A = this chain, B = another copy of it.
Amino acid sequence: MKDITRIESLADLDQYIAAQGYSQCLILVDSNTREHCLPALVGSSDALNRSEVIEVEPGESSKSAEIVAGIWNAMIDLHADRQTCLICLGGGMITDLGGFIASTFKRGIPYIYVPTTLLAMVDAAIGGKTGINIGHYKNQAGTFARPEAIVQDPSWLSSLPHRELRSGFAEMIKHGLVADSAHLNELLRIETVTVENTTSYIRRSAEIKEAIVAQDPHETGVRKVLNFGHTAGHAFEALSHALNAPLLHGEAIAIGMHLALGLSVKHSGLAEKTAIEVMNYLTKHFAIDFTALRKQYPTGDLWSFMLADKKNHRGEVRFVLLKSLGTPVIDCAISMADFDAIYQSAR
């Protein structure tokens, strides 16, 4: 795999771009990052100050084939060539979408991620996967591709709403659960997530993901552990959008991790006491109300989505479970009845 350049500040990004000899830079934003983040980005850089800006609506609905086609067309109109660099300024939606567009436009042009959310910094911008949605099915189309550089500047986080910050925190907890119980225990000591008490853990959490990805860039084996909590989590997330009451990604993943911990006790030997401790933390911290969820999200609806998920085949639904904290087991086939039993008793 090619190396990705780590850039620590916007001033360093300006120097990096000046050294690359790009024919031009284009900046992909959503209307939120255009308002809140773009001024700081273009203010820091002569090159970016002259760049054309491509804007999409915020939210998952922009990760569509139609939006991709529209932006490809816009790039042709802007005379983008193979030496054009696409700067992706935003959260995971923008990095997933921009990475897909850049990795397929003229069969791949350079692109740089400037993640502006905690979730994107510790997860979405790392790992060399791009993705768009097919209908309500998340990331069902995409590429394995890596940006030239990632800008990891925590100063963006201070303007982030608390729910967004907590959403990123869920993925940090996941990294601890599947690979580093010490990291997990540090995080579980945090009572309320703030920029101050998470910043120092960002680098470690990103490193855990990078190390797993480096072992398995094309997701054929060990990397599947990163899907812990995502099999059910994606189903909740997708259905929440269909219900017009969208859960943030990390909020859905927190629910999915809770259920995967329950399944782990039953099916992969995780100690019950350990599981309950983490499950209680998740329930409290993410204010999960399983009684309400069971009414809004019937098992059958969730199961239909899970069957269509790209990690499953031959009609089974396969979960990542845990043997113990930090020790995952991939490809655990679970039946709808098994899942329902855990879901009905969750609290």
Q: Residue of B at shortest CB range from A109?
A: B310
B107 touches A76 (CB 8 A): no
B141 touches A106 (CB 8 A): yes
List residues of chain B with CB within 8 A of the CB of A82: 310-311, 313
In the bound complex, how far is the Cα of B139 from the Cα of A106, in angstroms?
Answer: 7
B134 touches A72 (CB 8 A): yes
A76 touches B135 (CB 8 A): yes
A106 touches B140 (CB 8 A): yes
Binds B, one of A61-69, A185-193, A336-344: A61-69
Say whether, besides A83-B313, A307-B79, A314-B23, A140 and B105 are in contact (CB < 8 Å): yes
Say whether, besides A82-B313, A313-B81, A135 and B73 are in contact (CB < 8 Å): yes
In the bound complex, how far is the Cα of B135 from the Cα of A72, in angstroms?
Answer: 9
In the bound complex, how far is the Cα of B312 from the Cα of A204, in angstroms?
Answer: 42
In the bound complex, how far is the Cα of B105 from the Cα of A141, in angstroms?
Answer: 5
Kindly name the residue among A79, A106, A311, A314 whose own CB sees the greatest number of chain B CB atoms within 10 A: A106
| Any B CB within 8 A of the CB of A269 | no
In the bound complex, how far is the Cα of B68 from the Cα of A65, in angstroms?
Answer: 8
Q: Residue of B at shortest CB range from A64?
A: B69
| Any B CB within 8 A of the CB of A14 | no
A106 touches B72 (CB 8 A): no
B144 touches A107 (CB 8 A): yes
In the bound complex, how far is the Cα of B107 from the Cα of A79, in angstroms?
Answer: 28
- Number of identical monomers bound together in the oligomeric complex: 2
In the bound complex, how far is the Cα of B76 from the Cα of A307, in angstroms?
Answer: 10
| Any B CB within 8 A of the CB of A137 | yes
List residues of chain B with CB within 8 A of the CB of A79: 307-308, 315
In the bound complex, how far is the Cα of B26 from the Cα of A211, in angstroms?
Answer: 36
In the bound complex, how far is the Cα of B80 from the Cα of A137, in angstroms?
Answer: 13
In the bound complex, how far is the Cα of B263 from the Cα of A249, in angstroms?
Answer: 57
List CB contacts (< 8 Å) of A244-261 with chain B: none
Choose from B64, B81, B141, B144 the contact partner of A310 (Cβ within 8 Å). B81
Choose from B137, B144, B312 the contact partner of A76 (Cβ within 8 Å). B137
| Any B CB within 8 A of the CB of A221 | no
| Any B CB within 8 A of the CB of A142 | yes
A104 touches B143 (CB 8 A): yes
In the bound complex, how far is the Cα of B134 from the Cα of A76, in angstroms?
Answer: 8
A107 touches B81 (CB 8 A): no
Kindly name the residue among A68, A141, A143 whose own CB sees the greatest number of chain B CB atoms within 10 A: A141
A308 touches B76 (CB 8 A): yes
| Any B CB within 8 A of the CB of A59 | no
| Any B CB within 8 A of the CB of A39 | no
Say whether, besides A72-B65, A134-B73, A135-B73, A142 and B107 are in contact (CB < 8 Å): yes
B140 touches A76 (CB 8 A): yes
Cβ proximity bits A144-186 to B, threshold 8 Å, 1 near / 0 not: 1000000000000000000000000000000000000000000
List CB contacts (< 8 Å) of A295-340 with chain B: 307-308, 310-315
| Any B CB within 8 A of the CB of A129 | yes
Q: Residue of B at shortest CB range from A68?
A: B65
Known contacts A76-B140, A107-B142, A107-B144; 7 additional CB pairs below 8 A are A65-B66, A66-B69, A73-B135, A76-B137, A76-B308, A105-B141, A107-B131
